[in-house]
Amino acid sequence: MTLPRCAIFTRVANFCRKVLSREESEAEQAVARPHMTIIPREQHAISRKDISENALKVLYRLNKAGYEAYLVGGGVRDLLLGKKRRIST
């Protein structure tokens, strides 16, 4: 059975749409927000005084612009462990 060119193209196009939309939805699920633990102020001894002025400026500006901004990573780890923060250049 030979299909006309237009029908073949339509089948290929529909197949590609189906495969690509499936990949996009799978990718969206994979990019879902990672689990995040927010430690309330009452449960830690970190003060704003311990955080660099520049880091606070960035957090405040992002928040003011409507974004959620959090202090994360090694700097937080060091503050929780009572270590001096390192200055990275």
What does each of the 89 residues of the chain score in pLDDT, given as a tens digit?
555 667 777 888 888 787 777 655 555 555 666 777 888 888 888 888 988 899 899 999 999 999 988 888 888 888 888 887 666 54
Domain that holds residue 80: 33-89
pLDDT score for 65: 93
The whole-angstrom separation of Cα 16 and Cα 19 is 5
Dihedral (C-alpha) 34, 44, 70, 74: value to the nearest 10 degrees? -80
Residues 41 and 79 in one domain: yes
Residues 24 and 44 in one domain: no
Residues 39 and 80 in one domain: yes
Residues 50 and 60 in one domain: yes
The whole-angstrom separation of Cα 80 and Cα 45 is 7
Q: For the chain, what is the domain count?
A: 2
Dihedral (C-alpha) 49, 46, 87, 35: value to the nearest 10 degrees? -130
Residues 55 and 89 in one domain: yes
- Whose tokens are 């990949």? That residue is 23
Residues 55 and 13 in one domain: no
